[in-house]
Amino acid sequence: MDIPICANCGKIAQYRCAIDGEYLCYRCARVAVVGAHHISKPEIPKKIEIEIVDKMRQDPGRRKIFEALWDILGYPPAESVDLTGEWIPPDFYPYKHREYNVKTLGIYADGEPVGFLDFLFTMDPEENLSIQYWKMSIHPKYQGGGLFRLMVEKLKQIAYENNVKRLVVSHENDNIPAFIAEYMLGGKILYTRDLAYEEPGRFGIPRRNDIVFVYELR
């Protein structure tokens, strides 16, 4: 996996500029209104595959790549990323509990891992059986190329097959690209909750809230 580097400051990048396609970090990127004719298209892989595995039983080397991708795209992002070695599950709850049956949905472009999310079946805040997902990450090289849509569509398919009526996910209030993606794919806000304290967030936006989205499936 390539480590994306910000074209402006040289730090690890989290985004692909929609205009020129260069990588940008959350410090240098800004949200702005642009004409649709200015938006550049990301690289389109020839072959896309989706794989679902038990998180705790997947290949440790492959999981290492996914965790590195999460470190790159999470907030605050890692200052450096080590792709050597194998992933070792953290020694704390819920990893010690077998009933915490987390699945990993990985997406591959031309055989290379470029994105993932973790999910499980759970009861949502309104006591409905739901699929909750988190840690969704797409390498900046492929952002805007429809891979996240394919991942959510796969989750919807799994939900239908298991008679589950909802998908649930949450994002901090500064994660504007995630908001847009969830809305475009059919999500809506279920509720918001205040964070314990305010801190600087992505794009210069203060981080104050966690916003829970829900997909109502029919």
- Tell me the pLDDT tens digit for each residue of 90-116: 666 555 555 468 899 999 999 999 999
Within 10 A of 160 (CB to CB), how many other CB atoms are there?
12
The per-residue pLDDT for range 2-29, each reduced to its tens digit, is: 899 999 999 999 999 999 999 999 999 9
Q: Sorting pLDDT into bands at 50, 70 and 90, what band is 86? A: confident
pLDDT of residue 57: 85
pTM, two decimal places: 0.90
Domain 42-216, CATH homologous superfamily name and number: Gcn5-related N-acetyltransferase (GNAT) (3.40.630.30)
Q: Sorting pLDDT into bands at 50, 70 and 90, what band is 128? A: confident
Structure token digits, residue 207: 């981080």
**What's the CA angle centered on 2, arms 11 and 52, to 5 degrees?**
120
> What gap in Å lies between CA 99 and CA 115, rounded to an integer?
25
In whole angstroms, what separates CA 134 from the centre of its chain?
Answer: 7
% of the chain with per-residue pLDDT over 70: 95
> What gap in Å lies between CA 62 and CA 172, rounded to an integer?
27
**Which residue ranges make up each domain of the chain?**
42-216
Burial of 89 (0-12, 13-18, 19+ CB in 10 A): exposed
